[in-house]
């Protein structure tokens, strides 16, 4: 069997379509290599002293797990020196990290959630790393937070790595979605799925049902109708899954379809949702759209949202196209 590695895939994409400049290729390879290092720490678990919490909180007031901090540091260090980046932003850092003067500045901006699904670390359930790549626009010197505030549709690349029974890297550079599986003996990412497509219809939803009493009426209506099954208005039975790691839930949707939702709820009415636009919703929405699915916040396409701040939150509904359109239609005009 001929095996295509990540490097070969990127080189061939560049040759055929010319949309992966050298700096972007280096960036993707560095992130992918760092995910291998994060995977090693994740796998060590209790033996590597990587479980448990730190004494610190992140900018959103969440207690940081040791692995949140380790993964964040690994990504920072690995991406500083290559000359492909101008700056980075992370769910775990208050402000942007500008590439220090001692290194050449590149033209890309990297955003990431270093360890998604932190609540699952100790219980040995799939977790992951999510990343999004933007290009610095304009010719101004230096870089500031304003450079990051671009709509998701401007992403040059996005992807995630899921640390599960297999370690899988899922990537888009705006020309479909490809999946790579880590070959641990060889230490390389091997292409295992190309042109990933999400079925347009589904009978499987993912949502944290324990929040149901806090949701807005359109969300409750949608789930009530799914639960009513064959004899209800939808005329079919639905199955439910909720891993509580967005990477794992989105990965399942890319593999077999489904809809994932983390809606606004009235516990914190001023927050549009729990998930972060720039580190979670945008990269996942880009991947899902590239695989033929849809992603909205209930009112509009996620990739069209103009961010006002780096750590902005958003309501998320993504996955199989027809199902996302269905739930979105309940929200629109409500």
What are the residues binding Mg ion (CB under 5 A)?
113, 116
Nearest distance in Å: CB 246, Mg ion: 6
Any idea what DSSP says for residue 99?
A: P
CB of residue 74 to ligand AHM, shortest distance in Å: 16
Site for ligand AHM in 61-80 (CB under 6 A): 62
> Which position's Cβ is nearest ligand AHM?
246
Residues 295 and 21: their CA atoms lie apart, in Å, by 27
* 107, burial (CB in 10 Å: exposed 0-12, middle 13-18, buried 19+): middle
Q: Residues 29, 10: contact at Cβ < 8 Å?
A: yes
Does 125 contact ligand AHM by CB under 6 A? no
Told to check if 129 binds ligand AHM by CB under 6 A, we report no
Determine the size of the site formed for ligand AHM (CB under 6 A).
11
Question: Does residue 266 bind ligand AHM (CB under 6 A)?
Answer: no
Q: Is 118 in the site for ligand AHM (CB under 6 A)?
A: yes
Q: How far is the CB of 253 from ligand AHM (least distance, A)?
A: 12
Query: 3-state SS of 264-306?
Result: CECCCCCCCCCEEHHHHHHHHHHHHHHCCCEEECCCCEHHHCC
Distance, first Cα to last Cα, the chain: 54
Alpha helices by DSSP H, the chain: 6-17, 22-44, 66-80, 145-148, 217-228, 246-256, 282-290, 321-331
Q: How far is the CB of 130 from Mg ion (least distance, A)?
A: 7
Q: Is 117 in the site for ligand AHM (CB under 6 A)?
A: yes
Under the binding rule (CB under 6 A), the answer on residue 300 touching ligand AHM is: no
Among 246, 302, 305, 324, binds ligand AHM (CB under 6 A): 246
What does residue 260 show for φ and ψ, rounded to 5 degrees? -115, 135
User: Quick check: 288 and 196 in contact, CB under 8 A?
Assistant: no
From the list 38, 88, 116, 312, which residue makes contact with ligand AHM (rule: CB under 6 A)? 116
Which of Mg ion, ligand AHM, none lies near 51, with the C-beta cut-off 5 to 8 A by kind?
Answer: none
Q: Any contact of residue 332 with ligand AHM (CB under 6 A)?
A: no
Smallest separation (angstroms) from Mg ion to the CB of 319: 17
Stretch that binds ligand AHM, among 112-120, 151-159, 160-168, 191-199 (CB under 6 A): 112-120
User: ∠88-90-96 over CA atoms, to 5°?
Assistant: 45
**Nearest residue by C-beta to Mg ion?**
116
Residue 61 or residue 138: which is nearer to ligand AHM going by CB? 61
Relative orientation angle of helices 22-44 and 66-80, to the nearest 10 degrees: 150
Closest separation in Å from C-beta 304 to ligand AHM:
22
- Rounded CA separation 54/74 (Å): 17
Burial of 306 (0-12, 13-18, 19+ CB in 10 A): exposed
Which entry of Mg ion, ligand AHM, none binds 312, CB below 5 to 8 A by partner kind?
none
Pairing of strands 108-116, 85-90: parallel
Q: Is 84 or 274 the residue whose CB approaches Mg ion more closely? A: 274
Q: How far is the CB of 283 from ligand AHM (least distance, A)?
A: 12
Assess 166 for contact with ligand AHM (CB under 6 A): no
113 binds ligand AHM (CB under 6 A): yes
List residues binding ligand AHM (CB under 6 A).
62, 113, 116-119, 208, 244-246, 262
């Amino acid at each position: 069997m001929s095996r295509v590695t990540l490097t070969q895939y990127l080189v061939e994409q560049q040759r055929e379509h010319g949309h992966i400049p050298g700096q972007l290729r280096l960036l993707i390879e560095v992130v992918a290599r760092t995910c291998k290092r994060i995977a090693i720490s994740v796998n060590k678990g209790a033996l590597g002293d990587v479980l448990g919490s730190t004494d610190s909180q992140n900018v959103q007031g969440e207690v940081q797990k040791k692995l949140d901090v380790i993964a964040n540091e690994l990504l920072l260090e690995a991406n500083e020196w290559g000359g492909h980046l101008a700056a980075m932003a992370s769910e775990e850092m208050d402000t942007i990290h500008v590439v220090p003067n001692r290194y050449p500045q590149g033209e890309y901006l990297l955003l990431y959630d270093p360890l998604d699904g932190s609540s699952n670390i100790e219980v040995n359930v799939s977790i992951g790393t999510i990343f999004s790549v933007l290009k610095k626009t304009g010719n101004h010197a230096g870089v500031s937070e304003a450079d990051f505030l671009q709509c998701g549709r401007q992403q040059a690349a996005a992807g995630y790595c899921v640390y599960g029974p297999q370690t899988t890297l899922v990537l888009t550079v705006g020309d479909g979605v490809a999946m790579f599986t880590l070959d641990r003996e060889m230490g390389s990412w091997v292409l295992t799925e190309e042109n990933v497509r999400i079925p347009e219809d589904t009978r499987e939803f993912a949502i944290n049902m324990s929040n149901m009493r806090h949701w807005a009426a359109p969300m409750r209506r949608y789930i009530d109708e799914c639960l009513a099954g064959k004899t209800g208005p939808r005329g079919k039975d639905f199955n439910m899954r909720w891993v509580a790691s967005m990477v794992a839930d989105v990965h399942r949707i890319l593999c077999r379809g489904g809809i994932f939702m983390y809606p606004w709820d009235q516990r914190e009415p001023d927050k549009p949702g729990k998930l972060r636009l720039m580190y979670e919703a945008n990269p996942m929405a880009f991947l899902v759209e590239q695989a033929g699915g849809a992603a909205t916040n209930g009112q509009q396409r996620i990739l069209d949202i103009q961010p006002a701040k780096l750590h902005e939150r958003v309501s998320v509904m993504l996955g199989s196209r027809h199902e996302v359109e269905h739930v979105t239609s309940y929200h629109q005009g409500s």
